[in-house]
Amino acid sequence: MSIIAQHGEIFIILACLFGFFMAWGVGANDVANAMGTSVGSKAITIKQAIIIAVIFEFLGAWLAGGEVTATIRGGIVDPDLLAADPQFLVYGMLSALLAAGIWLLIASARGWPVSTTHSIVGAIVGFGAVGLGMEAVAWNRVGTIASSWVVSPLLAGTIAFGLFKTVQYLIFEARDPFAAAKRYVPMYVFLVGFIVAMVTLTKGLTHVGLNFTFGQSFLLSILIGLAIMGLGIILERRVDYQKSAGDSFGYGGVERVFGVLMLFTACAMAFAHGSNDVANAVGPLAAVISVVRSDGVIDSAALVPWWVLVLGGGGIVFGLVTYGHRVIATVGTGITELTPSRGFAATLAAATTVVLASGTGLPISTTHTLVGAVLGVGLARGMAALNLRVIGTIVMSWLITLPAGAGLAILFFFTFKGMFG
pLDDT of residue 199: 64
Rounded to the nearest angstrom, the gap between the alpha carbon of residue 210 and the centroid of all alpha carbons in its chain is 23
Q: Which residues pair with 137 in a beta bridge?
A: 77
Q: What is the dihedral of CA 368, 373, 378, 381, to 10 degrees?
A: 150
pLDDT of residue 38: 83
Distances from the Cα of 231 to the Cαs of 55, 72, 163, 324, 344, in angstroms? Answer: 18, 37, 22, 29, 17
pLDDT of residue 299: 62
Average pLDDT for residues 281-309, to the nearest whole number? 74
pLDDT of residue 17: 94
Q: How many domains does the chain have?
A: 1
**Per-residue pLDDT tens digits for 59-88:** 877 776 665 555 555 567 776 777 777 788
Ranking 129-138, 185-194, 198-207, 273-282 by mean pLDDT, the lowest is: 198-207
Confidence of residue 49 (pLDDT cuts 50, 70, 90): confident
Q: Which domain holds residue 310?
A: 2-420
Q: What percent of the chain has pLDDT over 90?
A: 11
User: Which letter does DSSP use for residue 169 in this model?
Assistant: I
pLDDT of residue 226: 94
What is the rounded CA–CA span in Å between residue 273 and residue 267? Answer: 10
Give the Cβ contact number of residue 359 at 10 Å: 20
Average pLDDT for residues 315-335, to the nearest whole number? 79
The answer to whether 112 and 396 are in contact (CB under 8 A) is: no
